[in-house]
Amino acid sequence: MFLRYRTLKLAVFAVTVVWLTSLALMFPVLLFTDHVPQTNRMSADVGYSCAVRWPGSHGLVAARAYLTYTAVVGFACPLAVVVCLYALLVCRLRVTRRHIRSRSVRVFPAPRDATGRHVVNVVTLIVISYIVCWLPYWSFQVRHYVEPILFLLSTLHISLLVVPD
């Protein structure tokens, strides 16, 4: 049914749209990213750390707005899309299975369909894996801006040191 839409041209277009959307979503970070000099306490060498410096006196407001924006676009929307598409896939497989069963001639009683359960289990594992992998990251990101004092007291700051030329 949808095979006529599976062309190389459409695939290239879809990939291009995804990359351009990703670039547009990350553009604010690209604009305000800066390298910050940091001194290594052990060797007194100066290294650099990457930081986002939001403009003006409302930097925390901008950072919270960007966090909300990325949490919705980077976690909530993809989760909703994945859940909806997999739910549609499972519903479609069940309808197709019922249609095939109703048209087939049953000489012997059909065994319980383990394949359908297997597909549902795999889909469930994919969704749970996505949530398990990304929920801790987004939880700590949101906590960072909701409770900045507690976060600063309980976090070990790790910086990437780059040796200057």
CA distance 42 to 159: 14
CB distance 46 to 37 below 8 Å: yes
Amino acid 14: pLDDT: 92
CB distance 95 to 125 below 8 Å: no
> In order of start, what are the domains of the chain with their CATH numbers?
3-103+113-154 (1.20.1070.10)
Amino acid 165: pLDDT: 46
Asked if the model's pLDDT at residue 110 lies above 50, the reply is yes
Asked if the model's pLDDT at residue 49 lies above 90, the reply is no
What is the CB neighbour count within 10 angstroms for residue 158? 7
Asked if the model's pLDDT at residue 51 lies above 70, the reply is yes
Of residues 97 and 49, more confidently modeled: 49
**Amino acid at position 2, single letter:** F
DSSP for residue 4: G
Asked if the model's pLDDT at residue 92 lies above 70, the reply is yes
Asked if the model's pLDDT at residue 17 lies above 90, the reply is yes
pTM equals: 0.59
- DSSP string across 89-154: HHHHHHHHHHHHHHHS--SSPPPP-HHHHHHHHHHHHHHHHHHHHHHHHHHHHHHHHHSHHHHHHH
Interval 111-159: pLDDT, tens:
555 666 787 888 889 889 989 998 888 888 877 776 654 544 444 444 4
